[in-house]
Structure 1
Amino acid sequence: MKEYTVAPNKDATGWYVKVEDIAPTDHYEKKDKAIAKAEEMAQENKPSKLYILDKYHEVQEEKSY
């Protein structure tokens, strides 16, 4: 099962989409756009999980596909 993460950058001024918690794959200025891209990637690679983190890098939301 693949895992995708949407996490803020150090200053919470941008958002990264990570695959398998390795190096970020994409950077977005808006959280909504990062979530949309991560959801799309997770749906294309079922079964998968998506974790959305807050500015403290704590899991805010978890979704399964």
Structure 2
Amino acid sequence: MREYTVAPNKDATEWYVKVEDVAPTDKYEKKDKAIEKAEEMAQEHKPSKLYILDKYHEIEEERSF
């Protein structure tokens, strides 16, 4: 099962999409855009999980595909 993460940078001014918690694959200015892209990626590679982190890098939401 693949894992995708949407996480902010240290200032929460940019949002990153990570695959398997390795180096970020994409960078977005808006959290919503990052979530949208991560959802697309997760749906293409089912079964998968998407973790959305808050500015403290704690899990805010978890979605399964």
Which bin holds the TM-score, normalised by the shorter protein?
A: over 0.9
1:42 counterpart letter in structure 2? A
Structure 1 unpaired stretches of 5+? none
Query: Post-superposition, which runs of at least 4 consecutive aligned residues in structure 1 deviate over 2 A?
Result: none
2:26 partner letter: D
Cα displacement (A) at 1:10: 1.1
TM-score (norm 2): 0.99
The count of residues paired between Structure 1 and Structure 2 equals: 65
2:24 alignment partner in structure 1: 24
Stretches of structure 2 lacking an aligned partner (at least 5 in a row) = none
Paired residue type of 2:60: Q
Q: How much identity, in percent, do the aligned residues show?
A: 85
Secondary structure of the corresponding residue to residue 22 of structure 1: coil
For residues 9-61 of structure 1, the C-alpha deviation after alignment (integer angstroms, 9 at most, x for no partner) is 01100000000000000000000000000000000000000000000000000
